């Protein structure tokens, strides 16, 4: 895990020092979820603090005091602006990591969704099974009725003159 190392640029007037914070991060391979949340909170706090400090420093350096310090102030301004951009990019990276972490590590939500889908599919299977049972009973009743009708029809019994049964119509 990397730490923030301040770089001090200073001038002795007003006893003020220029502090620049760099934000960097390297995580363990498989962190514990609660430690991940703490790490994300810490990184968020550090990034926001870095943005505030660098913006405050950029505003302070932008005041023109005397002409001899112009080149040093220009350098300090560019350093502040660079670190401000770096802190903003780091904050955007943190947001992307949080989104990815929530997407990939939301096992409870994923399990609930899988359970809901499973229950829905079981209900559909039960409905289909019930429909198939009703169709089977309807088909069996229709087939029984057709068999009774055929058994009593003239097509099953020979004709009185001994001729064969007439052919079935297509």
pLDDT of res. 150: 84
pLDDT at 169: 53
pLDDT the model gives residue 127: 96
Say if strands 17-20 and 7-10 run parallel, antiparallel, or are unpaired.
antiparallel
In a domain, 124, yes or no: no
Mean pLDDT of successive 10-residue stretches along the chain, which has 170 residues? 39 41 45 71 87 84 71 81 88 88 78 91 96 95 90 69 54
Establish if 81 belongs to a structural domain.
yes
In a domain, 12, yes or no: yes
First to last CA, the chain: 85
pLDDT, residue 128, reads: 95
Query: What is the residue-wise DSSP string for 127-167?
Result: HHHHHHHHHHHHHHHHHHHHHHHHHTSTTTSPPTTSPPPPP
Name the domain count of the chain.
1
**Domain coverage including residue 86:** 7-105
pLDDT digits (tens, 9 = 90+) for 66-96: 766 777 777 888 888 888 888 889 889 988 9
Confidence (pLDDT) at 81:
86
Cα torsion 106, 111, 116, 121 to 10°: value is 130
Q: Hey, how many other C-beta atoms are within 10 angstroms of the C-beta on 122?
A: 10
Given this model, what pLDDT does residue 167 score?
A: 54
Q: Looking at the domain assignment, is residue 71 inside a domain? A: yes
Q: Is 47 part of a structural domain of the chain? A: yes
Would you say residue 155 lies in a domain? no
Separation of alpha carbons 122 and 134, rounded Å = 18
């Amino acid at each position: 895990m990397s730490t923030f190392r301040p770089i001090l640029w200073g001038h002795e007037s007003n006893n003020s020092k220029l502090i620049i914070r760099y934000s960097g991060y390297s995580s363990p391979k498989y962190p514990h979820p609660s430690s991940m949340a703490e790490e994300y909170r810490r990184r968020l706090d550090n990034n926001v603090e870095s943005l505030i400090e660098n913006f405050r420093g950029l505003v302070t350096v932008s005041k023109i005091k005397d002409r001899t310090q112009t080149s040093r102030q220009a350098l300090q301004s560019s350093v502040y602006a660079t670190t401000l951009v770096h802190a903003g990019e780091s904050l955007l990276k943190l947001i992307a990591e949080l989104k990815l972490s929530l997407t990939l590590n939301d096992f409870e939500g994923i399990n609930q969704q899988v359970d809901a889908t499973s229950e829905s599919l079981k209900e559909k299977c039960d409905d289909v099974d019930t429909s198939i049972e009703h169709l089977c009973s309807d088909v069996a009743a229709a087939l029984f009725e057709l068999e009774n009708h055929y058994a009593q029809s003239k097509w099953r019994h020979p004709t009185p003159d001994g001729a064969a049964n007439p052919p079935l119509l297509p």
